[in-house]
Structure formats: structure tokens, C-alpha cells
Structure 1
Amino acid sequence: MVYVNQGGAYERDRRYLTSRITTDGKDGYPVEPDRYRLVVSRACPWANRAIIVRRLLGLEDVISMGVAGPTHDERSWTFDLDPDGRDPVLGITHLRDAYEARVPGYERGITVPAIVDVPTGQVVTNDFPQITLDLSTQWWAYHRPGAPDLYPDALRGEIDEVNQRVYTEVNNGVYRCGFAGAQEAYEESYDRLFTALDWLSERLSRQRYLVGDTITEADVRLFTTLVRFDAVYHGHFKCNRSKLTEMPVLWAYARDLFTTPGFGDTIDFDHIKRHYYVVHRDINPTGIVPAGPALDGWLTPHGREELGGRPFGDGTPPPPPPAGEAVPPLAEQGR
């Protein structure tokens, strides 16, 4: 659902279900293996964050994952990828059913990621910024051996500060460009976006990762926007001052993360392009999905190792994705 104010500026609806799954279960949802199902779409950058963090922390065996199809109607994300179009664990065809099980007549956006309480079939939360933080800080007893600390105590203040600017100017900034309803609102959003990207380029020219010398939550949040930039945001959302491939520092940084286990192996460019170009008919009335861009550049050397840093700190890379969760090889995702 797209909201545009009287000045033509896009405003994201952030009225989420904010119950949390915590070690103390204070909201009625305690950390408990095999109780919850993370529902995502590989097309969605907000859901992609949760997929990556779940992978990096090794929570696949304790939190199952349902994957909705890349397109949806006005009512809801649907489970088109599953046999008979029905999620095999929740038994539903539309994610809306889980929202309405929690709040009958639910009137807000049906968004992913959403964590569903399997015994009741009710959505616990769709508060995407908190979901990934809680996976790091509340599910620690079930992290895999060697899991990285994505939200270290000593760096939380700086991570939060960087995340706030990245969210307002970049993660949500591309949407503010794409859904702007007036020229002035679009140009303001465009200027803010590229000012922030220039700031990030300068920051990352001196250090391998956004905060500290290891991957943190901040890198996860920026990556999911960068990886979609040339395929979608540059053209579809009119973010066209520069392609990612024309911003040398950010392009190398994005390739560094893409080739890091847990990042590129969650990306499905076919799902990404089909979602944006087919669902957003107000922007792309024909529903034609572009054939490009070429994807082979993602696997070229990036040279970021020269800046030092250790991707997983004292930890280790995650193992390959579980059976059934692997994305197609990159060569099969493009022409």
C-alpha cells in the first residue's frame, strides 16, 4: 500500500505488530525452537535482511522459513511456490490469513518479513528492524558455533546511528524517489539519496565494513538495497544519477558482501525483478520485466581485502543453505 502526502512525498506506513519474541517471553512469545515460522519473499529487501541474519547465525534448524512468491495481488502475499499454493507448515494460501488470525479485519499492510506463531497461526510481529536485532540478541542460545556477533555491545551506538541514516536516506530513500507524486518531492528525495550514497562511499573508502572491522547489522541493512540498485531502483525508481556499477567504492563493497557466504546465496534476481516490475503497475503499467542488467560482474574480484577486516571476526562462515532454501546459481538468474 502506497501513501503519498499532500506535497507528493511518499510516506511509509510503519504501524507494525510489535510483539517481540524474547528470552523472558514478556510479550507472551518466549524463545522456543520449532515454534515460529519466518515468512519472507526473496524479492523484498526488508525480508532479505531476516533471511541473511538467520543464515549467518545458523538459526535454520530452530526457526523454519516459508517463502512467498515474488508477485502478489492487493490483498496479500501468496504461497505460489508451494504445492497447491499452500504453505506446508501454516496450511494457508495467503499471508493475510495469519494477520487476520491475530487481528480480525486487519487493515494495515500485509508485509514481509512476518514471524508466525505456528500453534495459533497468528502473526507475532512484522516489525522488520526489530526482528533481526532480536535474532541476534534473544536467540543467542541457539546460534550456531562460530556465529558472528552482528550487534556487539561496544558498537551498538554507532551501528544505530549509521542504520538510522541508511534507513531514512537509502533503504527508504529509493522508495521515496520511486513513489513520489510530485516533481519537487522526487528531486528532494533524489538529492538526499545520492548525498547519503556519497557519504557511504567516503566512509567505505577507508574501512572494509560500515562499523568496526567485521560484518554487523549495518552491513546487512545496506547490502539489501545495494544489491537491488541496478536491477530495480536505478530505472524503475528513477534513482539514475549513477548505477551501482558506476560508484566504484560501493560496487566493490557490495561485491565483497555478495561473495561472502550468507549474502549472495540468498539473492534471487528473477524474484526481485518480477516483483517490482509486475506488482508496481502504477509505475510500470505494461508489467514488462527488463531482461538486464548482466549479473556476471557480481563475481569479479573486488580487492576489498586490502582494507583488512575479518568478515566473521572470531567466528566462521555459515555452511551452505539447507536443502530447499538454495537460490538458483547466478548464471541461471539472468540472460
Structure 2
Amino acid sequence: MDAEHDTKGSYVTKGQEFNRDTNYITDRILDDPQAEWPVEAGRYRLIAARACPWANRTMIARRLLGLEDAISIGMPGPTHDKRSWTFDLDPDGRDPVLGIERLQQAYFARFPDYPRGITVPAIVDVPSGKVVTNDYNQITLDFSAQWRGFQREGAPDLYPEALRAEMDPLIKLIFTEVNNGVYRCGFAGSQEAYEKAFDRLFTALDTLEDRLADRRFLMGDAITEVDIRLFTTLVRFDPVYYSHFKCNRNRLSDFENLWGYARDLYQTPGFGDTVDFEQIKEHYYIVHTDINPTQIVPIGPDLSDWLSPHGRDERFGGSPFGTGTPPEAPLPHDTVDPAHTAAAWT
């Protein structure tokens, strides 16, 4: 089961370790006119809830690469029921491009008997209204490799071929031990499973803390795909995972290097401007009723420190975009409500 963006209901199985269902729709949109799903500007719509870390990855990559004009975006609200994510933030509760109330409708348009949870991120073919893929692991890699013809001038190379041999094991570590590790803690079905998950998570965070002691970003002087993947967990750590998922050996702010690194990314265009802290908290504390049956959403923590100086640029030098340039400000539809950002706490 997929406790973050699956809509099937309860996520805790008594006495058992949490196991994520990783069976997704693995179709790909390819830079090949003969492909079933060819790259084509304006044809596809990314459905990505701000609350979800896996969807947040796609939002960041789309912004950094400048694909906003090529791939439109629809954003469900932060909560959902057992059936589906819904477009409750849009006028009349319908996605303005697809005309649907529930993401489930795009899945059923292609697979009438789709048996799995309705997940975000998902990419939908606008002309047919059918879901193409929900394989979040591959979507961002294909944004980098398959959509080059539509990337902005100055876009960073997020998945450099020369670094992949080193990056791929790090991507695996981050997914299994950190991205999924927090869920393994939060949805553990026994004390034994929880303690095992807890130790695995903080062992990995200690490893990453050490790695960031002598480099600005995970692969060196510039951001890459691995930074996107780690950031979306780190930015949710103190507001949600520390308390809601019982990941409470340390707060993120207790790690010197990880905390500075996370602030460095948050303050980088394309990262923090995709983060909606209120939607994040609403999603976890309202949807996960098996963990939080009262559905009370905490007011804190104080987020103002996300904007404090991190000093990593002065300490290590380098540039987030390498020889490239930052993206321009987000489009109005992509802009986070200012009241839901760290700036609202200053």
C-alpha cells in the first residue's frame, strides 16, 4: 500500500512492517514521434497535489527546467476520501482543463476497472482525458531527458550522465531509507517494527549529514535530481514527520549540515516557492485518521527559521544552477498562498 498518495484508506496493519506498493502505470512520454505517448507541448497535464512529497518532486523539476508552458498543471486540494483526490480548490470543484471533479475519472477513462489507489503525481493526456502514467520515479527523469526540446534556456542538467553511476545508488538510499523511511516509522504496526524503522531512518540521515559536511549539495557544487528527492522529505520533517510519524530522535533543525542544506534549497528559486506548509499539514493530520483520529491540525511549528542565513554558499561556493540560471518567478496559478509559506511566520 502507498500511504502518501494512495486513496484506499487505512495504512496501519497491526503487527506488521509498512510495505509500499510500488506497482504503477509505467508508460512513458518519449521524445519519439512514433511513440504511443510522444512528447508534445500542450498535450499533457500534470496533476500534482502540493501536499504530497512525490508530487512536489514533479513540481520542482517542472519549475527548474522551465516546462510550465509545455506541461500544464492541475492541483487537487490537500485532502481526499477513499475514492480519489478531488479538485476542490478550483471553481465549481472541477479541473479547468480536464473538466473532471475527481482524478479517479482520468484513471477510469483508461482503465475502467483500475484496481489500485488513485495516486498523484499523474500525467493525463488532455485530448482523451486518460491517465498516461503515475510512475513518480520516472516522471522527473523523463522531464530531464525526454523534454529537452522544451526546457528553458539556462535549465540545469539534473541528471548528468557522467554522475549517474554515483547518483543512482544515492537515489536508492534516499528512497528506501528516508523518503519511505518516515512512512515505515509512521505506519509501523508494532513496537518492534517501529524501532527497526526508526533506527534505519536516522542511520541514513546521519550518513547524509556526514556527506553534506564537505559539499554544498549532494553531488557537489550544483543541484541535481537527488537534491530534489531529499528536499521534499526534509521540508516536511519538522512540520509533520517529527511528531505525526514519531520520527523524533532529532528535529531537522538539530542537524547542522542537513538543516543548512535544506534552507539553502528552500531559498533557491524552484524549491521553496513550490512548498505549501498549510496544505502539507492538513493532508497528513486530516487524512491519516488511523494515526490522528481527532483530525486536529497543529498550529506550529514556527517556520520563520527557513528564511534564516544558511552560510553554505559562503562556506562551499558553487552555484545551485551550475553554469545555468535560476527559473523566473512562478506563474500565478503556480504561486503558493503567501499565508502558507515560511515568510508568513516572520
Q: Scaled by the length of structure 2, what TM-score is found?
A: 0.94
Cα distance in 2 for partners of 1:334, 1:79 equals 28
Unaligned 5+ segments in structure 1 are: none
Q: Which of 272, 277, 298 pairs up with 1:290?
A: 298
The match for 2:5 is none
Q: Which of 309, 321, 326 pairs up with 1:312?
A: 321
> Is the CA contact 1:291–1:334 (under 8 Å) kept in the aligned structure 2?
no
Cα distance in 2 for partners of 1:197, 1:332 equals 27
The reply to whether residue 224 of structure 1 matches residue 220 of structure 2 is no
The reply to whether residue 321 of structure 1 matches residue 330 of structure 2 is yes
Deviates more, 1:67-76 or 1:307-316: 307-316
The Cα of 1:26 is off from its aligned counterpart by 5.9
The Cα of 1:109 is off from its aligned counterpart by 1.2
Q: Which of 208, 212, 223 pairs up with 1:200?
A: 208
Cα distance in 2 for partners of 1:209, 1:117 equals 35
The reply to whether residue 71 of structure 1 matches residue 115 of structure 2 is no
Cα distance in 1 for partners of 2:76, 2:14 equals 33
Q: How does 1:147-296 map to 2 (within 5 A)?
A: 147-296=155-304
The match for 1:300 is 308
Matched pairs, number? 335
The Cα of 1:108 is off from its aligned counterpart by 0.5
> Is the CA contact 1:40–1:114 (under 8 Å) kept in the aligned structure 2?
yes
Cα distance in 2 for partners of 1:4, 1:230 equals 22
The match for 2:100 is 92
Q: Scaled by the length of structure 1, what TM-score is found?
A: 0.97
Give % identity. 64
Cα distance in 2 for partners of 1:88, 1:112 equals 18
Distance 1:93 1:34, change over 3 A: same
Cα distance in 2 for partners of 1:250, 1:181 equals 29
What amino acid sits opposite 2:201 in the alignment? L
The Cα of 1:328 is off from its aligned counterpart by 2.1
The Cα of 1:212 is off from its aligned counterpart by 3.0
Secondary structure of 1:11's aligned partner: coil
The reply to whether residue 37 of structure 1 matches residue 45 of structure 2 is yes
Deviates more, 1:26-35 or 1:291-300: 26-35
Secondary structure of 1:206's aligned partner: coil
What amino acid sits opposite 1:315 in the alignment? G
The Cα of 1:156 is off from its aligned counterpart by 1.1
Unaligned 5+ segments in structure 2 are: 1-7
The match for 1:111 is 119
RMSD (CA atoms) = 1.4
> Is the CA contact 2:307–2:342 (under 8 Å) kept in the aligned structure 1?
no
